[in-house]
Amino acid sequence: MKFLLLLIPCLLAVLPIVYNLIEPRLFGFPFFYWFQILLIPASCLTIYIFHKQAGR
């Protein structure tokens, strides 16, 4: 069940149909770019949470 938490960022990264949009823009960047940039720390946080839970 804990592995499902790790699947979320992986599935979001490999499904460009989810984030293949231009709008909304953030600081002039299309959604496509800033979503991928936001996905990096979100993935790191997910892996960190999973690592802490697995250590218990």
d(CA 47, CA 5): 8
Both tokens assigned to 27: 């600081």
pLDDT at 1: 62
- Exposed, middle or buried, 30 (CB in 10 Å: 0-12/13-18/19+)? middle
pLDDT of residue 46: 85
Could you give the CA distance from residue 25 to residue 56 in angstroms, rounded to a whole number?
41
Residue 30 has what pLDDT? 93
Calpha distance 41→48 (Å, rounded): 10
pLDDT at position 2 is: 66
The model's pLDDT over 1-56, given as tens digits with 9 standing for 90+, comes to 667 778 888 888 888 888 888 899 989 999 999 999 999 999 999 888 888 887 76
The pLDDT assigned to 19 comes to 83
